Structure 1
Amino acid sequence: MNNWKLICPLEDIPQLGSRIVRPATGGDIAIFRTSDDEVFAMHDKCPHKGGPLSQGIVHGKRVTCPLHGWNIGLDDGHAVAPDVGSCTKFQVKVEAGQVYLSV
């Protein structure tokens, strides 16, 4: 069973950008918005060297880490080959223009 928490209106997350959620425990979560208004959520930490993915460039369904250029799939949290590693993903949804995160 999921417990959905209201985060913000979709329009508060810039297209091709992100917003950070700071839960009490477990580390920051980045919520990304694509150019098609899809939203994805994962830990705000690149699997390579821990770079802040929320500061990366969103393109298609990927984000590029600002530290070393690793590409991470927003839909699965996996680094794009030849890089190896993954980020913890979280369920996120948009209903009536509002973004919700499963906690």
Structure 2
Amino acid sequence: MSWIDIGHIEDIPLRGARIVKTAVGCVAVFRTAEAEVYAASNTCPHKGGPLSEGIVHGQKVTCPLHNWVFDLNTGLAQGADEGQITTYPVRLDGARILLDGDAVKTRSAA
């Protein structure tokens, strides 16, 4: 894995998200707890809603357009017939957020 430093954890509000622009599209980075972050595609597969503007609760995000709920661990939609978002490896190094650059290069984020 090739880790890319994308910012300080305090750059993302608790239960909020920020966007990282990549060559393959926007990746949303979600802060679900004081020291817990997840990264996933910013685009809902249902109607293209911006997930970074959704409601973050537990380890899930709810799309702001039609309330599809996605598990940030697996990317799977809950309560929908089908749907999944791409998730990306992300970790904390102290208070710095690191995103796996290799994974972002090989998968489409949008």
The alignment status of 1:76 with 2:74, answered yes or no, reads: yes
Q: Map 1:1-103 to 2 at 5 A.
A: 2-23=1-22, 25-103=23-101
Q: Cα RMSD between the aligned structures?
A: 1.0
Query: Distance between the aligned counterparts of 1:86 and 1:38, measured in 2?
Result: 21
Unaligned 5+ runs, structure 2:
102-110
Runs of 4+ more than 3 Å apart: none
Query: Distance between the aligned counterparts of 2:81 and 2:89, measured in 1?
Result: 24
C-alpha change, 1:94 and 1:56, in structure 2 (3 Å) is same
TM-score (norm 1): 0.93
Query: Distance between the aligned counterparts of 1:45 and 1:56, measured in 2?
Result: 11
**CA drift at 1:82:** 3.4
Equivalent residue pairs, number: 101
- Equivalent pair of 1:93/1:99 in contact (CA under 8 Å): yes
Secondary structure of the residue that 1:8 maps to in structure 2?
Answer: strand
Relative to its length, the structure with more helix (as a share) is 2
**CA drift at 1:38:** 1.2
TM-score (norm 2): 0.87
